[in-house]
Amino acid sequence: MLHNRRSSSLSWWLAIVMMVLVACQKQNNVTLNQTIEPTPSLTMTSMAIPSEMPSPTITPTVIPPCYQTSPSESIMGSYAIQGWQAFAQSAGFSIILYYFPADCSTDSLERDGQAILFGDQLHQDQVGLVVLNPIESGSLGKLYQHLIQHEYWQMGPEDYPAILDDTEGMNKNLVFLRLDELNGDNTIIGNPLVVMASLAEHEYIHIVQSRNNPNLASMVWNDKDYQAFIEGYANIGNASSQRYYFETKAAIEILQSLDLMNRSGSLQPKLEAELEKQDLTAGIFNESMPFVYDRHVRAFFLRVGGQAYIDSLEEGEISPMALFCRAGSGDLAAYGLIREILR
């Protein structure tokens, strides 16, 4: 009986162990058959993937210009600058001033000078006034020495492009002034401010001429007849200088000759014949009218001849006044017609 009890007890324990094993096997099967989801923090979409390192940005060093645009009161209050300001206001354009102090380095003078000569700092309806201290070398040095050599107070695009070697793309709306002559000298006759305002008009006319004739400087330097006409036209009616007295007188006589021909009835037929050689008509010629500056011419003839004389100068399909002022403003087509007619 004891043996049977032990056998029965052992059987009972074996049955319990088997039941536990079977339960564990089922649990293991369930676990192994489940899909193992990846831990969200380890998925590819949530992992921090290092991107390509950006190239470092190189910030160029900005070198401030050596020139000043708002110089001292002694410069701003000079007759030359006041004259330019007064004339610019009356003519409807703006000016930008560039003053190069005496302590500018050679490198700065050349760098900043090139930026003014060839850069985009100026619009077409602006004029840059470059005030120079004595300079011996570089581009600005060449211009300053030219001013000294010819005893000019100021110089515009009728000269400076011909002085420099490389003129392609050069700004033609600049005027260079000597610091030591901003108030003129003892040769001034009359009110210095009036003289300097007249000189500003004279130089501005050269800017207009260069706008219509890109080769103005080279023609002025190489064609004495053209130089006389250009300078004479720019000097009509203003008190800027007695230097071009005879050229001014000759330019006035050209307009008077055109007027006499027009009054006699010979001007228009001659113009028509010359235009026909170029396959042009008076209408086409008038339609191609460039920018013309004629305020000084009209003011002069109004003063010496009255409005009636102005009216007579404006008669005709191509009037003497229009032809003359167009040529004087640098238009080579009009200048060529005048040369042929008065030959």
pLDDT digits 0-9 by tens, 239-262: 776 778 899 999 999 999 999 999
Minimum mean pLDDT among 37-41, 210-214, 223-227, 283-287: which range?
Answer: 37-41
- On whether both 77 and 212 belong to a single domain, the answer is yes
HEC profile of 272-323: HHHHHHCCCCHHHHHHCCCCCCCHHHHHHHHHHHHHHHHHHHCCCCCCHHHH
Minimum mean pLDDT among 64-68, 80-84, 198-202, 235-239: which range?
Answer: 235-239
- On whether both 298 and 213 belong to a single domain, the answer is no
The residue-averaged pLDDT of 65-88 equals 95
What domain range is 182 assigned to?
Answer: 73-217
Residue 52 banded pLDDT, cuts 50, 70, 90: low
- On whether both 80 and 212 belong to a single domain, the answer is yes
Q: Is residue 189 part of a domain?
A: yes
Letter string b/e over residues 120-142, b meaning 16 or more CB atoms within 10 A of that residue's CB: eebeeeebbbbbbbebeebbbbb
Q: Which of 197, 217, 237 is the last residue of a domain?
A: 217
Cβ–Cβ under 8 Å, residues 113 and 230 = no
Q: Is residue 305 part of a domain?
A: yes
| Cβ atoms within 10 Å of 231's Cβ, excluding its own | 22
- What pLDDT does residue 190 have? 84
- On whether both 211 and 262 belong to a single domain, the answer is no
Q: Which of 176, 197, 217 is the last residue of a domain?
A: 217
- What pLDDT does residue 41 have? 45
- On whether both 109 and 183 belong to a single domain, the answer is yes
> How high does pLDDT run on average in the chain?
87
- On whether both 157 and 258 belong to a single domain, the answer is no
Cα 139 to Cα 238: distance, rounded to the nearest angstrom: 31
| Cβ atoms within 10 Å of 340's Cβ, excluding its own | 13
Query: Which is it for strands 174-178 and 94-100: parallel, antiparallel or unpaired?
Result: unpaired
- What pLDDT does residue 16 have? 52
pLDDT at 6 exceeding the cut of 90: no
The number of domains in the chain is 2
pLDDT at 141 exceeding the cut of 80: yes
- On whether both 252 and 158 belong to a single domain, the answer is no
In percent, how much of the chain has pLDDT > 90?
73
- What pLDDT does residue 3 have? 44
The better pLDDT of the pair 25, 74 is held by: 74
The residue-averaged pLDDT of 82-99 equals 97
Q: Is 233 helix (H, G, I), strand (E, B) or coil?
A: helix
- What pLDDT does residue 58 have? 67
pLDDT at 68 exceeding the cut of 60: yes
- On whether both 114 and 172 belong to a single domain, the answer is yes
Q: Is residue 8 part of a domain?
A: no
Mention every residue, 6+ apart, whose C-beta is less than 8 A from residue 330. Answer: 208, 209, 210, 211, 212, 213, 216, 230, 290
Q: Is residue 266 part of a domain?
A: yes
- On whether both 193 and 269 belong to a single domain, the answer is no
Q: Is residue 18 part of a domain?
A: no
Angle between helices 332-341 and 245-264 (to 10 degrees): 70
Q: Is residue 226 part of a domain?
A: no
Q: Is 57 helix (H, G, I), strand (E, B) or coil?
A: coil
The residue-averaged pLDDT of 25-45 equals 46
Q: Which residue has the tokens 């009161």?
A: 73
Residue 63 banded pLDDT, cuts 50, 70, 90: confident
Residue 167 banded pLDDT, cuts 50, 70, 90: confident
Cα 60 to Cα 116: distance, rounded to the nearest angstrom: 20
Cα 67 to Cα 102: distance, rounded to the nearest angstrom: 10
- On whether both 283 and 183 belong to a single domain, the answer is no
Q: Is residue 261 part of a domain?
A: yes
Instruction: Provide the residue type at 278 as one letter.
Output: Q
- What pLDDT does residue 7 have? 45
- What pLDDT does residue 122 have? 92
The residue-averaged pLDDT of 145-163 equals 95
Q: Is residue 26 part of a domain?
A: no
Cα 288 to Cα 267: distance, rounded to the nearest angstrom: 20
- What pLDDT does residue 243 have? 79
Residue 119 banded pLDDT, cuts 50, 70, 90: very high
Residue 2 banded pLDDT, cuts 50, 70, 90: very low
The better pLDDT of the pair 150, 29 is held by: 150
- Using one digit for the tens of pLDDT, what is the confidence trace for 270-301? 999 999 999 999 999 999 999 999 999 999 99
pLDDT at 45 exceeding the cut of 90: no
Residue 168 banded pLDDT, cuts 50, 70, 90: confident
- On whether both 187 and 280 belong to a single domain, the answer is no
Helix, strand, coil % over all residues of the chain, rounded to 5: 60, 5, 35
pLDDT at 47 exceeding the cut of 50: no
- On whether both 310 and 192 belong to a single domain, the answer is no
Which tokens sit at 311? 């009216």
pLDDT at 50 exceeding the cut of 80: no
